Structure 1
């Protein structure tokens, strides 16, 4: 049994299995997250503090299309199976992209489902997440990276019903600089322009029906978590942005979920420094679409 303080993990994603009364905690679990990838693990628990594991859920074979940057796995139930959306650095062209894996169990093993990454081949992309629209049509929301375009963007693309391929071209939902809270930075080697980061999009339907999008960026070089809102309730937007980030204490790549007692929880990793990153869980309150830290009663 391990506790959160002992788990080195980035990009936490929790699957709540109500029938078992268990939480499944996935994330970027390689010790050297920036180098050679070994796969993904899962932790299983019933209280968001004490966990069994880690258990391996994905290990690549020698023919897998990536050897580096195994990042940000999310697991979604869809059409009777479990699908993992995860980011990999491609062997063939050295660019990152999100691919889709599949398993019959939350414990895996997850096996390649899509034919490599489904993000555009020539793009640096990452952090794909599944979204079903009001007609239950599948979409993938992902980030087009700042390393390629400077002003990082959040994009959406339709998926085929079997989640193997995309339909049509991605649409840009917004760029990071359109929100009032992220700040720019200049990179010493990659480029010297004003860069803005987009990381870790996650879609959440608020109780009042609003469609929210969590995503991460930086404020004065400190990792932070913010929220944007669709003005139409549709994934294509247009999007408006909360003026202030919801978390500014060097943490991000978060997601919202309801725990087994129906409490709203924000999980993200903090601090944003390897090997010190840990999953943290913050009780939240929702008030007419506004999400904030739960106040002590």
Structure 2
């Protein structure tokens, strides 16, 4: 099962798991950029995926590439799809400087998460605003997710691209009650380099400030002690070769807001899973087991499953479910 950035909805009504990922025409049989969904009753055997969203079916949509990191949320009696689009032919202004004060520059273009709505988990989903992404369009963002705070206020939490910031950030913006527009300005949550373990494998004296610090795949969960936990992914850095080149593998990690508030302060935890794994999310199986799904490896990704548990504000891996995901 080819899949990248997996997202699972366990639908109690039909006792069916819905696994969303970017459309792969070779698997779905449907051409075009969009979202497809696999379905299963046991997390082992899955149907051929059905396409639930295509950019080609959205008149006037601002971008037709990407459709990364799809996720579907039930809200006010309907289902809302978030997925990230981009258009390399719509350049954004490159910021005049970055936090390192270096000449590091990369071209920026429009990228951001759109919101689409349907009455069914299997679509079709229709984009709410075809003219622009949901976060501010002057920001290069991706991987928007839904968070609803204790007062009932919905937010979109997203990653602000390292391509624009060098040190990628997690940010949040309030959504209107119907999720169709944003309210106010973005709120900064944390930056990738706050995870101090990121550079532990780089020897002292090796300059690494030019290497990008990546934020990816936020997902938020309330813990048993009422803290707020965010899964997120990044690249752990190490030195590859005698020339001092910085490289690193994709990792699944998390952060905790002990206050329970979205604005933090956020404390970084060590990675949960390495092995070029990431962009995970949590769901409960129909028998109540807390489960994490990630993709591995980053290229030609497949889904990998883990039994998990909360211990207060901490998240722990109990075991790998190779019996379900086929091993590897």
TM-score by length of 1: 0.89
- Partner residue of 1:22 out of 13, 16, 19: 16
**SS in structure 2 opposite 1:294?**
strand
CA shift digits 1:42-90 (9 cap, x unpaired): 0110111211121010112353221211101110000000000110004
**Contact 2:15 2:41 (C-alpha < 8 Å) held by counterparts:** yes
**Contact 1:114 1:163 (C-alpha < 8 Å) held by counterparts:** no
5+ long unaligned stretches in structure 2: 92-108, 201-208, 238-247, 321-328
Match of 2:74 in 1: 77
Distance in 2 separating the partners of 1:121 and 1:259: 37
CA shift digits 1:219-275 (9 cap, x unpaired): 131000111011310111111111x111111110001111111101010100111xx
Distance in 2 separating the partners of 1:224 and 1:47: 27
- Partner residue of 1:196 out of 213, 218, 221: 213
The answer to whether the aligner puts 1:213 opposite 2:230 as a matched pair is yes
**Contact 2:33 2:66 (C-alpha < 8 Å) held by counterparts:** no
The answer to whether the aligner puts 1:151 opposite 2:145 as a matched pair is no
**Contact 2:23 2:51 (C-alpha < 8 Å) held by counterparts:** no
Q: 1:230-269 counterparts in 2 under 5 A? A: 230-242=257-269, 244-269=270-295
Distance in 2 separating the partners of 1:25 and 1:139: 23
C-alpha RMSD of the superposition: 2.0
The answer to whether the aligner puts 1:137 opposite 2:161 as a matched pair is no
State the Cα distance separating 1:179 from its structure 2 match. 1.3
Match of 1:292 in 2: 316
State the Cα distance separating 1:152 from its structure 2 match. 0.3
The answer to whether the aligner puts 1:160 opposite 2:186 as a matched pair is no
Match of 1:105 in 2: 120
Match of 1:44 in 2: 39
Match of 2:297 in 1: 271
**SS in structure 2 opposite 1:284?**
strand
Match of 1:188 in 2: none
**Contact 2:258 2:313 (C-alpha < 8 Å) held by counterparts:** no
**Contact 1:40 1:57 (C-alpha < 8 Å) held by counterparts:** yes
**SS in structure 2 opposite 1:142?**
strand
**SS in structure 1 opposite 2:316?**
strand
Distance in 2 separating the partners of 1:21 and 1:101: 24
Matched positions, count: 278
Summarize the Cα distance change of 1:125–1:37 in structure 2 as closer, same or farther, 3 Å threshold. farther
TM-score by length of 2: 0.81
Distance in 2 separating the partners of 1:161 and 1:246: 34
State the Cα distance separating 1:37 from its structure 2 match. 5.5
**Contact 2:55 2:61 (C-alpha < 8 Å) held by counterparts:** yes
Distance in 1 separating the partners of 2:129 and 2:41: 32
Distance in 1 separating the partners of 2:166 and 2:315: 29
**Contact 2:72 2:81 (C-alpha < 8 Å) held by counterparts:** yes
Match of 1:3 in 2: none
